[in-house]
Amino acid sequence: MNIPPQPPVGLGTAEARRRLRSCGPNVLPQDRPHSPLALLVDALREPMLALLATAAGLYWLLGDAAEAAVLGGSVALVVANTVYQAGKTQRALAALRELSSPQARVLRDGRATVCDARELVPEDVILLGPGDRVPADAVLIESAGLRVDESLLSGESVAAEKHSAETTNAAADAGTLSAARVFAGTLVVAGQALARVDATGAATSVGRIGAALRDIAPERTPMQREIDRAVVLFAALGLAFCTLVTLAYVGSGRGGWLDALLAGLTLAIANIPEEFPVVLTLFLALGAWRLAAVQVLVRRPPAIETLGAISVLCVDKTGTLTQNRMRIAALATPTQAWRAAGPDQRPPALFGDLLRYAAWASEETPVDPMETAIAEARGAAVAEALRHLRAYPLDRSLLAASHAWLRPDGSRFIASKGAPEAVAELCRLSAAARETLFAEVAAAAAQGLRLLAVARAEIAPAAMLPESPRELRFAFCGWLGFVDPLRTGVTAAIAAATAAGIRIVMITGDHPATAASIAAAAGLPAAEVTTGAQLATFDDDQLAACLRRCQVFARIAADQKLRLVRALRSQSHVVAMTGDGVNDGPALKAAHVGIAMGRRGTDVAREAAQIVLLDDNFVSVVNGIRLGRQIYANIRRALRYILAVHVPVVAMAVLPLLLGGPLVLSPVHIVFLELVIDPACTLVFERQPARSDPLALPPRPAGQRLIGRRLLVASLLEGAAATLGAALVYLWAWSRGADAATVAALAFTAIVAGNLALLAFNRNESGLRGALRADNAAFWIIAAAALTMLGLGLYLPALAAFFRFAPPPPAWTLAALALPTVLVALSRARREPVGPAAAAARR
pLDDT score of 604 more than 80: no
Cβ neighbors of 544 (< 8 A, separation 6 or more) are 567, 570, 571
Q: Return the pLDDT at 323.
A: 76
| Mean pLDDT of the 762-779 span | 79
Identify the band that residue 748 occupies on the pLDDT scale cut at 50, 70 and 90: very high
**Model-level pTM?**
0.66
| Mean pLDDT of the 486-493 span | 84
Q: Return the pLDDT at 578.
A: 86
Q: Return the pLDDT at 534.
A: 92
* Alpha-carbon Rg for the chain in angstroms: 36
Q: Return the pLDDT at 692.
A: 73
Task: Report the C-alpha dihedral over residues 519, 520, 522, 523, rounded to 10 degrees.
Answer: 120
pLDDT score of 382 more than 80: no
Which alpha helices (H) appear in 660-708, and where do they start and end? 667-679
CB burial readout 49-66, b (16+ within 10 A) else e: bebbbebbebbeeeebee
The CA distance from 488 to 289, in Å, is 25
Average pLDDT, the chain: 79
pLDDT score of 513 more than 90: no
Q: Return the pLDDT at 415.
A: 96
Q: Return the pLDDT at 720.
A: 92
438 or 233, greater pLDDT: 438
Q: Return the pLDDT at 338.
A: 92
Identify the band that residue 834 occupies on the pLDDT scale cut at 50, 70 and 90: very low
Describe the chain by its helix, strand, coil percentages, rounded to 5. 55, 15, 30
| pLDDT (tens digit per residue) in 660-700 | 788 787 766 776 777 677 667 677 888 888 777 787 777 77
The C-alpha angle 448, 454, 458, rounded to 5 degrees, equals 180
| Mean pLDDT of the 111-122 span | 84
Q: What are phi and psi of 791, to 5 degrees?
A: -60, -45
Cβ neighbors of 323 (< 8 A, separation 6 or more) are 484, 485, 486, 487
250 or 786, greater pLDDT: 786
pLDDT score of 216 more than 60: no
Are 398 and 471 spatial neighbours (Cβ–Cβ below 8 Å)?
A: no
The percent of residues above 70 in pLDDT, for the chain, comes to: 75
| Mean pLDDT of the 525-552 span | 91
The CA distance from 584 to 135, in Å, is 20
pLDDT score of 571 more than 50: yes
Q: Return the pLDDT at 686.
A: 81
Q: For the purposes of burial, counting CB atoms within 10 Å of the CB of 840, is it exposed (0-12), middle (13-18) or buried (19 or more)?
A: middle
Q: Return the pLDDT at 598.
A: 72
707 or 545, greater pLDDT: 545
Residues paired with residue 478 on neighbouring β-strands, in sequence order: 454
| pLDDT (tens digit per residue) in 39-93 | 566 656 655 566 566 666 766 766 667 666 766 665 676 566 556 545 543 444 3
pLDDT score of 515 more than 80: yes
The CA distance from 484 to 59, in Å, is 63
Q: Return the pLDDT at 680.
A: 72
| pLDDT (tens digit per residue) in 270-321 | 566 666 766 776 777 778 788 888 888 887 777 787 887 889 999 877 767 8
765 or 14, greater pLDDT: 14
Q: Return the pLDDT at 445.
A: 77
Nearest to 182 by CA among 222, 143, 229: 143
Are 415 and 454 spatial neighbours (Cβ–Cβ below 8 Å)?
A: yes
Identify the band that residue 26 occupies on the pLDDT scale cut at 50, 70 and 90: confident
Identify the band that residue 16 occupies on the pLDDT scale cut at 50, 70 and 90: confident
Average the pLDDT over each of 131-140, 651-660, 815-824 and give the range with the smallest value.
Answer: 651-660
Task: Report the C-alpha dihedral over residues 112, 113, 119, 125, rounded to 10 degrees.
Answer: 10
Average the pLDDT over each of 127-131, 395-399, 427-431, 624-628 and give the range with the smallest value.
Answer: 395-399
Query: Measured on CA atoms in the order 603, 604, 609, 613, is the torsion positive or negative?
Result: negative
pLDDT score of 137 more than 50: yes
Q: Return the pLDDT at 838.
A: 42
| Mean pLDDT of the 429-456 span | 88
| pLDDT (tens digit per residue) in 355-380 | 999 999 988 777 677 888 898 888 75
pLDDT score of 97 more than 50: no
Identify the band that residue 832 occupies on the pLDDT scale cut at 50, 70 and 90: very low
The CA distance from 820 to 718, in Å, is 10
Are 408 and 385 spatial neighbours (Cβ–Cβ below 8 Å)?
A: yes
For residue 179, count other CB atoms closer than 10 A to its CB.
19
DSSP assignment letter at 242: H
Q: Return the pLDDT at 269.
A: 59
pLDDT score of 842 more than 60: no
668 or 191, greater pLDDT: 191
Q: What are phi and psi of 630, to 5 degrees?
A: -65, -40
For residue 42, count other CB atoms closer than 10 A to its CB.
14
Q: Return the pLDDT at 166.
A: 52
The CA distance from 470 to 188, in Å, is 26
pLDDT score of 174 more than 50: no
